[in-house]
Structure 1
Amino acid sequence: MSPLRRAGGLFAAVLAALTVAACGSSSSTDTSAAPAASQPASSAAAPATREVKDATGTLIKVPAEPKRVVTLTQEDLDAALALGVTPVGITNGQGIDTPPAYLADKIQGIPVVGNLLQPVIDKVVEVQPDLILAGDMQDQQILDQLRKITPATVVTMAPTDDWKLSFMGIANTLNKLDAAKQVLADYDAKIAEAKARVKPAEVSIVRWNPQGPSWMEKRQFASFVATDLGLTRPKAQDKDGTAHSMPLSLEALADIDGDWLFLSTLTADGEKALDEVKKTPAFKELKAVKDDHVVSVDGSVWSTRGAPLAAQVVLDDLVKALAG
């Protein structure tokens, strides 16, 4: 699992801890006592619950079998869908005012309850969730409002989590750890198959902002997929981090060069800035440009925190270019 193999022990330990938590949850599951003789025969037992530790380390009771899940990020949505869970409420995607286009065929008809990490509380109330997956939500006021709707509101991602670790945390919350292990096994199998088709190459992964280009550090989502595939990064981008670089000036465009250049934008202003730069001599002198090895990719997928279905999109983009 590429850079994860350097931290493989950590990943295995976390996975084992999640598994133990899931297996041990039966001891903390709420079970209603048998109804007393004076109770009506129709009295229903309270739904079973489990206790999980969210990404902030907080213990939270969640339904053992959640029926009405709301997702507040596209990573939560992607992960839920990959695990066979269809939410009852979703938010718009990264940097866009519509749900993620790459998931469109799986989310038709699901109500949109706000923008990424910006839920409209009344809309969340309308869909009556029994579990809210709150991504890396850090606004305590919003979390408090959501937990009045359902105490089972879970922060699913820590700032430094890679996509596989976040995915396993979401799976644990949904009580789907076995399914998650299979999803990751399937991903590994697809990586192995793709490696046989792709020649080694140095790939530059860049998001173009209105202020200029930012390259992605090696532990950022799309970079992980590239490394899993056995691809290398230009020397300037060989940095072990989880974010993007500061926007570069035209004088530093050599930092984004490589055998291949995978370019994305997230806004119309970013797209306009890129169009302008493409006309400059500095851009035209890049090796990837001269070799016609510049590939436009979807920034609302490549620039996210990542999840299994998005990883498949990135993998497909890489293979299409490098094996084409």
Structure 2
Amino acid sequence: MAPLRRLGGLLLTAAAVLTAVACGASSTPATPTGAAVREVKDATGTLIKVPAAPQRVVTLTQEDLDSVLALGVKPVGITNGQGIDTPPAYLADKVQGIPIVGNLLQPVIDKVVEADPDLILAGDMQDQQVLDQLRKITPATVVTMAPTDDWKLSFMAVANTLNKLDVAKQVMAAYDARVTEAKGKVEPAEVSIVRWNPQGPSWMEKRQFAGFVAADLGLTRPAAQDKDGTAHSMPLSLEALSDIDGDWLFVSTLTADGQKTLDEVKQTPAFKELKAVKNDHVVSVNGSVWSTRGAPLAAGIVLDDLVKALSGS
């Protein structure tokens, strides 16, 4: 288990996240305008003063958007989804009418100003120049995830920032209950989780979002993918397609070019020789859900996809 390094500087397991995050914020006096504030430590270790009860939240990543919606918060500004020029399709019905302030981690500063936020959730933003610009709009601009954070830790960090840990506990309890129920429906299996890029397939490491959900179900990964990380491999050549084989192959694309490449490769002898292909165990899944950093609503979709395939329902 990789170390979960923030919120108090302790080495935490995922099971300890709730306690750790609760210790990661402290109350501070009200501002001169009378609005109460709290101090939280963001994913970079920076102490940030945030509203105790944020009213106007802007999210700059799909994961932050998913998280705030799961917590019952409707943001006043959002960005488009990963690799697309619209909000994530799986959240579309929940974000109708919310202004778009830019693309993923590429906010248009004037549009953020128009949204008049009192809190900006900046995801894994690493561009200090952009962060400085955002903090001129509101000092309460919080980097919510570090590069190695898993989705559960990032979600709890968002919940802590919004002062909604109690709601987050309920969300995670509901997820855990769904996992327990799902385990009774699926047989043990080796699952390959792949994103197909225009350059070829990349498999996901075990602590990447969809891999994490699969692990929660007790599913295993092919030997080549049995890596305890949060990244994905370099695109593979046709000669290395055996690395993506397994009892089941869950494959996603993010772009039309990626889908075109996948369609072409499906006609090759190398692809047709894969065990999953021969057994008709290849499942196309939504790349804008499976190939992201993840959050609770997306986790529910991945869980449903796995159960549907592996239970035959």
Using the size of structure 2 for normalisation, the TM-score is 0.94
Amino acid in the other structure paired with 2:47 = L
Q: Distance in 2 between matches of 1:21 and 1:238?
A: 32
* 2:131 counterpart of 1:143: yes
Look up the match of 2:169.
181
Amino acid in the other structure paired with 1:262 = F
The alpha-carbon deviation at position 323 of structure 1 amounts to 0.9
The sequence identity of aligned pairs, in percent, is 82
* 2:29 counterpart of 1:21: no
Look up the match of 2:255.
267
Kept after mapping to 2: 8 A contact 1:134/1:154: yes
Kept after mapping to 2: 8 A contact 1:4/1:11: no
Kept after mapping to 2: 8 A contact 1:29/1:51: no
Which of 198, 223, 226 is residue 235 of structure 1 equivalent to? 223
* 2:82 counterpart of 1:94: yes
Q: How does 1:124-203 map to 2 (within 5 A)?
A: 124-203=112-191
Q: Distance in 2 between matches of 1:61 and 1:9?
A: 24
Q: How does 1:73-92 map to 2 (within 5 A)?
A: 73-92=61-80
Structure 1: runs of 5 or more not aligned: 33-44
Which of 222, 235, 245 is residue 233 of structure 2 equivalent to? 245
Amino acid in the other structure paired with 1:57 = G
Q: Distance in 2 between matches of 1:6 and 1:199?
A: 30
Q: Distance in 1 between matches of 2:269 and 2:257?
A: 21
Structure 2: runs of 5 or more not aligned: 6-10
Q: Distance in 2 between matches of 1:256 and 1:303?
A: 15
Which of 221, 224, 237 is residue 209 of structure 2 equivalent to? 221
Q: Distance in 2 between matches of 1:21 and 1:74?
A: 24
Q: How does 1:105-116 map to 2 (within 5 A)?
A: 105-116=93-104
**Deviation by residue 1:106-150 (Cα, 9 ceiling, x = unmatched):** 111101100000001111111100000000001111111111111
SS at match of 2:13: helix
RMSD: 1.8
Look up the match of 1:30.
30
Q: Distance in 1 between matches of 2:241 and 2:159?
A: 40
Q: Distance in 2 between matches of 1:236 and 1:12?
A: 27
The runs of 4+ residues in structure 1 deviating greater than 4 Å are 3-9
**Deviation by residue 1:170-211 (Cα, 9 ceiling, x = unmatched):** 100000111111111110000000000111111000001111
Q: Distance in 2 between matches of 1:257 and 1:19?
A: 42
The alpha-carbon deviation at position 21 of structure 1 amounts to 3.4
The alpha-carbon deviation at position 20 of structure 1 amounts to 2.3
The alpha-carbon deviation at position 249 of structure 1 amounts to 0.7
Count of residues in Structure 1 that have an aligned counterpart in Structure 2: 307
